[in-house]
Amino acid sequence: MSELGLFPLPIVLVPTERIPLHIFEPRYRELIDECVANDSEFGLALSTGDGAVHEIGTRARVADVLEVLEDGRLNVIVAGGDRFRLLDLTKGRAFTTGIVEPVGDDDDPADVVDLERALEVFGELAALAESDVDVPDPKSSTFDWELAARVDFDVDQKQELLAMTSPRRRMARLVEVLETSLEALRAEQLLRERAGRNGKVTPIDPEP
């Protein structure tokens, strides 16, 4: 167990993911400045909107400082590392802190069929969206996280994946979420095509 500076945000960061952050609150500027100076990590946890945070979060490291503005605000890129479980909130610093413990995976490897299906659906998503995103190596030990980091999921779905400790269940759930995303993108593009043909949006025919 250890004490970790926490940054509650309405987003989820998964291991291997990189995201931009704009740091403007003085207390979190202090946290990020400290992490940059000491090459240390902070914890990014999903906030619930009522001052509380989810139990499972992700350690984050500042990968790049893009810009330091005259008033002290920062634009940075942070990279997701290991997961943690928040045991208790602590006091004494301007920013939120907490006692945390590591979260590891169970010995329950992903099913090969699910792994192949996830790769297939991800490829279809990338092609349909005409995205040049790179495809992760399915042999990578972090393949599931690398996939999750490349798709814009609902935060609740992403938090669900983050909290799972069974690689088998996580990959199966990831397949479901990817398939839902693919169906939604297909429906959106179909509506755009119909609107482009006649200037109106025609409802999609229901399935028989």
The token pair at 41 is 């990590």
Which has the higher per-residue pLDDT, 69 or 189? 69
Q: Which of 167, 141, 144, 145 is nearest to 58 (CA)?
A: 145
Q: Which domains does the chain have, with CATH numbers?
A: 2-103 (2.30.130.40), 112-198 (no CATH)
Confidence band of 186 (pLDDT split at 50, 70, 90): confident
- pLDDT at 199 (0 to 100): 54
- pLDDT at 21 (0 to 100): 97
Mean pLDDT of 21-32: 96
Q: From CA 7, how far away is CA 191, in angstroms rounded? A: 39
The token pair at 155 is 């935060």
- pLDDT at 203 (0 to 100): 47
Mean pLDDT of 82-102: 95
